[in-house]
Amino acid sequence: MRGAARHGRRNDLARNQQGDFRRMSRALRLPSWLAPPQAEVAIEFAQGRVTVSRVGRSGDPLSATSLSETLPSGAVTPALAAKNIEQPQVVIGAVKKVLERAGFGRPKRVALIIPDSAARVSLIPLETVPTRASDLDQLIRWHVKKATPFPIEDAVLSYGTAATEGGGTTIAAVVAHRAVVAEYEAIADAVGAHAGAVDVASLTVINAAIASESVPQGDWLLVCLAPESTTIAIMRGTALMFHRHRLTVDEEPLTALVHQTAMYYEDRLGGTQFQRVILAGGASDAARELAKREISDRLKTPVQTLDALLKERGAA
């Protein structure tokens, strides 16, 4: 089956996607917009590069088998409500090249990982979750509509349980413009692959970290660095408690974002100390080391890169 973005259909999200959460007790997996079969390879799109990874049995990209290809400036410009792929032929060529370099050949099924800036993640607290799927779907759409800068009828929407605490439930909802998702799907089509799943970068990182079985049972912080943005998430074991995305044009330094997140963690979530910080992304080794020092100095908590975490998993 092709995705909702291509046919303009709405998936039966409330039934199928929440069921997916119940089956995966140890993972906070936000369901994909497209109904998978299992993908063989993940293709991640970012401003300045495309990356391919072999997908593991759990459905998570394995960093140890990742390879990237540089894109020229302006080829991919992640945005929520504007054209994302300005140079499709260039991007198609880069994907073909990196698939060949990685030895992946021509995979029949792929998972697409799009930038956080191309979608919006909202956490919606509910005292009571409607029992009827249609009622829940209508409620989530009502909440998401208020923060979506385009008609909800033009949106592709995915949601599932993020956390359950104190008798209430928090729903994580992800929305993207249907035309934006279709741009990324078109790249998969052009290289002869079926897009079996479409996911958001930071949520893919969370799932990969959880799948490694190396994350703490307590509180931990995720920091995802992209050329155009920074995303920070607070995790309580496998529960997503907080998700914040900021564009670099906001001119808010990483230290300020980390400080504000720490204040929220202490004041609103009753937190005392993160057990670990996981850092993903970064333009260079030097940029990652600088970010690690800045975060560690502020939080007094060990900072580990996602690559290091997954390499430990592979060596175990």
pLDDT tens figures, 94-151: 999 999 999 998 999 999 999 999 999 999 999 999 999 999 999 999 999 998 999 9
Burial profile 98-120: b = 16 or more Cβ within 10 angstroms, e = fewer? bbeebebeebebbbbbbbbbbbb
Give the whole-angstrom CA distance, residue 29 versus residue 43: 18
Q: What percent of the chain has pLDDT over 90?
A: 70
- The CA-CA-CA angle for residues 276, 288, 312, to 5°, reads 50
Residue by residue, DSSP assigns 192-234 as: T-EEEEEEEHHHHHHHHHHHTT-S-SSEEEEEEEETTEEEEEE
**Of 269, 283, 197, 199, the residue nearest 233 (C-alpha):** 269
- And the tokens for 239? 């529960």
Residue by residue, DSSP assigns 265-300 as: HHHHS-----SEEEEEE-SSHHHHHHHHHHHHHHH-
Give the whole-angstrom CA distance, residue 314 versus residue 316: 6
Residue with tokens 């929440």: 18
The rounded mean pLDDT for the chain is 85
**Of 118, 102, 104, 310, the residue nearest 207 (C-alpha):** 310
- And the tokens for 71? 């894109």
Give the whole-angstrom CA distance, residue 242 versus residue 200: 16
Please report which confidence band the pLDDT of residue 62 belongs to, taking 50, 70 and 90 as the band edges.
low
Give the whole-angstrom CA distance, residue 95 versus residue 101: 10
Q: What is the average per-residue pLDDT within 191-205?
A: 92
The letter for the amino acid at 279 is L
| Domains of the chain, CATH where assigned | 4-9+28-117+176-206 (3.30.420.40), 214-315 (3.30.420.260)
Give the whole-angstrom CA distance, residue 66 versus residue 52: 5
Q: Return the minimum-mean-pLDDT range out of 135-149, 170-184, 231-245, 300-314.
A: 300-314
Q: What is the average per-residue pLDDT within 47-73?
A: 80
HSE (CB half, 13 Å, CA atoms) of 18?
20
- And the tokens for 189? 């089509």
pLDDT score for 64: 52
Q: How many Cβ atoms are within 10 Å of 272's Cβ, its own excluded?
A: 9
Q: Return the minimum-mean-pLDDT range out of 23-37, 50-64, 277-291.
A: 23-37
Residue 8: pLDDT above 80? no
Spacing of C-alpha 63 from chain mean position? 15
Q: Tell whether the torsion through CA atoms of 74, 78, 82 and 87 is positive or negative.
A: positive
Residue by residue, DSSP assigns 141-180 as: HHHHHTT-SS-GGGEEEEEEEEEEETTEEEEEEEEEEHHH
Provide the phi-psi class of 192: left if phi over 0, else alpha when psi is between -120 and 50, else beta: left
